[in-house]
A and B are shown apart, each in its own frame.
Chain A
Amino acid sequence: MSNSNDINSGIVAQDLKAFFGNIEVLKGISVSMQKKKVTALIGPSGCGKTTFLRTLNRMHELARNASIKGKVIVDGTDIYSPGIDPVLVRRKIGMVFQKPNPFPTMTIYENVVAGLKLTGRHSRKELDEVVERTLVQAALWDEVKDSLRKSGASLSGGQQQRLCIARTLAVNPEVILMDEPASALDPISTAKIEELIFQLKDTYTIVIVTHNMQQAARVSDFTAFFYLGELIEFNNTRSMFTRPQKKQTEDYITGRFG
């Protein structure tokens, strides 16, 4: 296993517990995810993958009665320490949701620049440049370059998800969290998203939730297996899928449950 304990780089969770009311959904997760690598989170439905992802950019606390204990250290800073502004955390750690959620009242162009426009002033030229760059990055530019003034909601599901990725890239995050970004999409759109993740991992630290083992094997460098709110196994993806250390992991990835 490679050195995954450098606390000053990447994302480190230390004994992280997450609650809805007094129900403990994450039961003390400690893991360290490397910078500019893709980490896949796998595990059966309801095991806490989404919850874990949402603790990493302080989205978890937005839910009613939700709270956490423990630490999440991103590039050496505990994002839960007092005095840290969650708004700035979220700007640095972007998120792509399971169901594509472009802003329905905005055009494609406005969707991409929404994060920039709502957080500061930018010149028209700057925005044009960002729109083109991020749509190219999200492999959507060629399909929409002539219809930037159309509603974001007019796109297909796969295009909407790539639009959401472009929108996330536009605010220039360092980390991108993806919650089953392709689960609502057809196989061709899924392949496009996977290709995209491949392109993005040179620049961004990526954490992706997936329920698709092949997808985890294809796109990720490391894999974390969650079960009932606990982290059962964490390893580089190749070892995980060829020589799982735990019985539960093996059962899950060979499809015996889940």
Chain B
Amino acid sequence: MKGGGFSYWRRKTSNAFVTILFSSSVLIVLLPLILIVGYLFFKGASSVNLNFFIHRPAPVGEHGGGMGNAIIGSVYVVGLASLLGIPIGLLGGMFVGEFPHNKFSTLVRFVADVLNGTPSIVMGVFAYTVVVLPMKSFSVLAGGFALGVMMIPTILRTTDEILQTVPTSIREASLALGVPYWRTVLSVVLRSAKSGIITGILLAGARVLGETAPLLFTSFNNAFFSYSVTQPISTLPVQIFNYAISPYRDWHRQAWAGALILVLAILIVNFAVRVFSRQRFDQTV
């Protein structure tokens, strides 16, 4: 039939058009990531070697040196931040997610959203005021505090949203068995929401891992390996920052290598997130 033929070709062309549109959008999204990672490899890969991971920065003029202390420092500060951010974010998220219509929940959600949108440098100033000034010293504690406060709203809001996606029927199944409410939340609801919550935590961690501004006034920097929570410490982003603004070639190369490692670390965490959120769907024991 004539009309049939016409609509067939029309469908073919619009199909092709839409396919091209979609593919190019995907490319546009992927391009920056590919360019960034590619460029970092190009500039930084040659300086990544064992020394880079185990040594501290070398003084100006000397070759070699590494960011071993900064890597340890980043793990240290983010670890401390997690000690603060995960429990508070999780408990707050559980409250808000379980009592979504409570007035207090509305307030907490609002505060979390504002906090989420607060520029990270403001967090740094805040941590400077409440931790660095009273302690009269830059410190791991101050850095962990700044990043921890930044983790709270992310974790709180993801936990909140995930808990609300757990179907009422699951809660009711548990309550109807005579399981107390708190036990239902802890053992049934949280269990169903586990992968989503872990995803939220990992993303919050990955996000603060790359933060520089709040650390400039809190954990500051340290040219040495340091393990004391009351002392300043070197972290990857701050170290990259310092090297990048220096006038020395050698340091620039180190900065590229540091940036490469940092981006790879964040990519790995995001990859772990993919694996975790996939698990949610094929859970056969």
Contacts and interface: CB of A to CB of B under 8 A. Distances in A.
A115 interface: yes
B179 interface: yes
A101 B170 CA distance: 6
B176 A94 contact: yes
B191 A59 contact: no
A168 B172 CA distance: 12
A64 B187 contact: no
A168 B284 contact: no
A64 B101 contact: yes
Given A105-B283, A151-B285, A167 B172 contact: no
Interface in B210-255: none
Give the residue among A97, A104, A150, A151 with the most B Cβ atoms within 10 A: A104
Interface of A: 57, 59, 62, 64, 87-92, 94-95, 97, 99, 101-107, 114-115, 118-119, 149-151, 153-154, 164, 167-168, 171
Given A64-B101, A104-B283, A105-B192, A87 B172 contact: no
B176 A151 contact: no
Interface size class of B (residues with CB under 8 A): 20 to 34
B45 interface: no
Given A64-B101, A105-B192, A119-B180, 12 more contacts: A59-B176, A87-B178, A91-B178, A97-B173, A101-B167, A104-B283, A105-B191, A114-B174, A151-B285, A168-B176, A171-B177, A171-B178
B177 A103 contact: no
11 contacts: A59-B175, A87-B179, A94-B177, A101-B170, A103-B192, A105-B191, A114-B177, A114-B179, A150-B284, A151-B284, A168-B176
B215 to A, nearest CB: 38
B183 interface: yes
A87 to B, nearest CB: 5
B176 A95 contact: yes
Contact of A118 (B179, B192, B284): B179
B284 A154 contact: yes
Contacts of A103: 170, 173-174, 188, 191-192
A105 B284 CA distance: 8
Q: Which of the listed residues A59, A64, A101 has the most CB atoms from chain B within 10 Å of its own CB?
A: A101
A88, A115, A149: most-surrounded residue (chain B CB, <10 A):
A115
B49 interface: no
Nearest to B282: A151
Interface in B184-219: 184, 187-188, 191-192, 194
A101 B188 contact: no
B169 interface: yes
Given A105-B191, A105-B192, A105-B283, A115 B177 contact: yes
A171 B175 CA distance: 12
A83 to B, nearest CB: 17
- The list of the 3 closest CB pairs from A to B, nearest first, reads A91-B178, A115-B177, A95-B176
B285 A107 contact: yes
Given A64-B101, A115-B178, A118-B187, A101 B173 contact: yes
